[in-house]
Amino acid sequence: MKIVWGKQYEIGIGVIDNQHQRIVEYINELDRISSLAAPREAVKEVFDNLIDYTFSHFAFEEALMEEAGYQDVDVHRLSHETFTRQITAIQQRFDQGDAVIEQLSEVLLQWLLVHIANDDVSYSALVKQNIIGKGAEAHKSWVSQAVRRFFG
What DSSP line would sit under 36-65, residue for residue? Answer: TT--HHHHHHHHHHHHHHHHHHHHHHHHHH
Mean pLDDT of all residues in 62-67:
91
Of 43, 115, 103, nearest in space to 79 by CA: 115
Global pTM reads 0.87
Mean pLDDT of all residues in 25-53:
89
Domain boundaries, the chain: 10-151
Mean pLDDT of the chain: 87
pLDDT in tens, 17-27: 999 999 999 98
Q: Which of 28-42, 62-76, 109-123, 130-144 has the highest mean pLDDT?
A: 62-76
pLDDT in tens, 74-102: 999 999 999 999 999 998 999 999 888 87
Contact present, 124 and 11 (Cβ < 8 Å): yes
Helix (H) or strand (E) holding 81: helix 73-95
Lowest mean pLDDT among 7-11, 13-17, 33-37: 33-37
Give the pLDDT confidence score for residue 68 in this predicted structure.
87
Radius of gyration over every alpha carbon of the chain, rounded to an integer in angstroms = 16
CATH number of 10-151: 1.20.120.50
Measure CA of the first residue to CA of the last residue in the chain; give whole Å: 30
Task: Give the Cα separation of 16 and 57 in Å (integer).
Answer: 8
Give the pLDDT confidence score for residue 18 in this predicted structure.
94
Of 18, 82, 79, 20, nearest in space to 50 by CA: 20
Give the pLDDT confidence score for residue 62 in this predicted structure.
94
Q: pLDDT band for position 134 (50/70/90)?
A: low
Q: What is the DSSP letter of 8?
A: G
